[in-house]
Amino acid sequence: IRVLGIETSCDETAASVVGLREGAAPEILSNVVLSQIEEHAAFGGVVPEIAARAHVEALDGIIEAALADSDISLAEIDAIAATAGPGLVGGLIVGLMTAKAIAAATGKPLIAVNHLEGHALTARLTDGLDFPYLLLLVSGGHTQIVLVRGVGDYQRWATTIDDALGEAFDKTAKMLGLPYPGGPNVEKTAANGDAKRFAFPRPMKGEARPDFSFSGLKTAVRQAATAIAPLSEQDVADICASFQAAVSDALGDRVRRSLVRFREEYPDVKTPALVVAGGVAANREIRSTLETLCAGHGFSFIAPPHVLCTDNAAMIAWAGIERIRAGLVEPGAMDFVPRSRWPLDSISAPMIGSGR
Ligand code: ATP
Ligand code: MG
Ligand code: FE
C-alpha cells in the first residue's frame, strides 16, 4: 500500500508518501514539511488568515516535491489521506479540498484523517508498537494523555483545563521578551539559569483527577517578572530555568497518575509504553523527567524523531494506511466538511470515500 498524506491544520504545509509491504516495516518514502514560522514570527503567534494563504501558495509545490522525492508517480499511489481536523479551518479547507480534487481526478480513495490520530499512531510507524499504549501529546494546541487501544479506538484520560503546555512556553517567552517560537528559546535560555531561584507553583500536583493546568504558572511567572523588573539577562535565565523545572515537575506528577491507571487496567501487558508527541516533546528536561518516571514504573519511553513528533504529513499518510489495513472503509470522505474541533475519542465512523 502506498498513501499520499497531506497536512495543513496549523502552521506547517506538509506532504509525504508512506509505503507498506506486507511482512516488512513501513517506509517513509518522502516527508516534506514547510514551516511558516517566519511568516508568523512578527506577530508572536500563528495568524489564521496568513496561515491559510500560505498553505494555498505552497501546497501544490509541496505535494509535487513529496511525489518527486519518493520516486513514485501519482498513478502508483493507492489512496490520498488528508488532515480534516482539528485545527485552523482555513488551512484544513485548503488541504482537504486539494486532496478531494486529486481523489476526484485520479479516482483514488480519499481518507479524511483526524490530526490527533496521526500523532497517536506515529509510534507504530517508527517503532512498530503494539496496542494498547499511552500517548502524551504536548504541543502548542494540545496537552492530553490518550489511551490508544486500536486504530480508531481512543480514550482520552487527561487534558488541560486551561492552557496547552506549548502555549504556556510561548506566553512565558513573550512575557520575557524572548523571540517566537517560545519553547526552544525558553529551553536555551534556561540552560544558563538557576532553577531554584523562583519557587513557581506546580499546578494540580497531588490532585486525584488526572488533568493538567498551566495558566496559574503563567500568572506566577508574570508576577515574579513584574516584581523584579527591569529584568537582567540573568533574571530572565533564572525565570526560564525555574519555569521549566516547575513544568517538568507538574507534568511528571500528572503523567504518573495515568501510568498507574494503565497498570491497573492492563495488568497483563508485560512492557507497557508511553509515547510522546508534539513540539514540546523536544524539550530535554521534560524528556529526561519522563524517562526517569517511565523507568521507575516499568514503562518503556518512546520518543519518535523530532520531525515526526511535530506536525508532518507522514503521520497522516500512515494513519491512512492503518485505516485501510484495519478495513475501516466507509464512503463519505468526499463529503466530509473540515472540523476545527474534532476530539479523538469522538471518532466513531472511519471516513473513507471513493473519488468516483
Ligand atoms: P498542534 O497542537 O495543532 O499540533 P502546534 O503547531 O502548536 O500544533 P507543534 O508544531 O507540535 O504544535 O509544536 C509547537 C509547540 O512546541 C510550540 O508551542 C513550541 O513553543 C513548543 N516547543 C518546541 N520546541 C520546544 C522546546 N524545546 N521546549 C518547549 N517547548 C517547545
Ligand atoms: Mg506547528
Ligand atoms: Fe500537531
Residue 185 CA to ligand 2 centre (angstroms): 15
pTM summary value: 0.94
Grid cell at residue 65: 516535491
pLDDT score for 171:
95
Query: Does the CB atom of residue 238 touch ligand 1 within 6 A?
Result: no
Nearest residue CA, atom 16 of ligand 1?
A: 279
pLDDT score for 236:
98
Query: Does the CB atom of residue 280 touch ligand 1 within 6 A?
Result: yes
CA distance 155 to 277: 16
Nearest residue CA, atom 13 of ligand 1?
A: 279
pLDDT score for 87:
97
Cβ-contact 248, 285 below 8 angstroms: yes
Sheet architecture: strand order including 27-35: 27-35, 12-19, 2-7, 79-85, 110-114, 352-353
Query: Does the CB atom of residue 86 touch ligand 1 within 6 A?
Result: no
pLDDT score for 41:
87
Is residue 15 scored above 90 in pLDDT? yes
pLDDT tens profile 96-128: 999 999 999 999 999 999 999 999 999 999 999
| Structure confidence at residue 343 as a pLDDT band (50, 70, 90) | very high
pLDDT score for 346:
80
Residue 319 CA to ligand 3 centre (angstroms): 14
Query: Does the CB atom of residue 184 touch ligand 1 within 6 A?
Result: yes
Three-class secondary structure assignment of the chain: CEEEEEECCCCEEEEEEEECCCCCCCEEEEEEEEECHHHHHCCCCCCHHHHHHHHHHHHHHHHHHHHHHHCCCHHHCCEEEEEEECCCHHHHHHHHHHHHHHHHHHCCCEEEEEHHHHHHHHHHHHHCCCCCEEEEEECCCCEEEEEEEECCEEEEEEEECCCCHHHHHHHHHHHCCCCCCHHHHHHHHHCCCCCCCCCCCCCCCCCCCCCECCHHHHHHHHHHHHHHCCCCHHHHHHHHHHHHHHHHHHHHHHHHHHHHHHHHHCCCCCCCEEEEECHHHHCHHHHHHHHHHHHHCCCEEECCCHHHHCCCCHHHHHHHHHHHHCCCCCCCHHHCCCCCCCCHHHCCCCCEECCC
The distance of Cα 132 from the centroid of its chain, to the nearest Å, equals: 19
In a 13 Å sphere around the CA of 126, the CA atoms on its Cβ side amount to: 19
Residue 266 CA to ligand 2 centre (angstroms): 33
- Gyration radius from the chain CA atoms: 21
pLDDT tens profile 312-329: 999 999 999 999 999 886
pLDDT score for 331:
75
| Structure confidence at residue 356 as a pLDDT band (50, 70, 90) | very low
pLDDT tens profile 201-232: 999 999 999 999 999 999 999 999 999 999 99
pLDDT score for 258:
98
Residue 115 marked ligand-binding: yes
Rounded to the nearest 5 degrees, what angle is found at the Cα of 85, between the Cα atoms of 164 and 151?
Answer: 95
pLDDT score for 320:
97
Residue 114 marked ligand-binding: no
Residue 74 CA to ligand 1 centre (angstroms): 32
Residue 170 marked ligand-binding: yes
pLDDT tens profile 135-189: 999 999 999 999 999 999 999 999 999 999 999 999 999 999 999 889 999 999 9
Residue 232 CA to ligand 2 centre (angstroms): 30
Closest ligand to the CA of 141: 1
Compute, in degrees rounded to 10, the torsion defined by CA atoms 216, 218, 219, 223.
140
| Structure confidence at residue 349 as a pLDDT band (50, 70, 90) | very low
pLDDT score for 241:
98
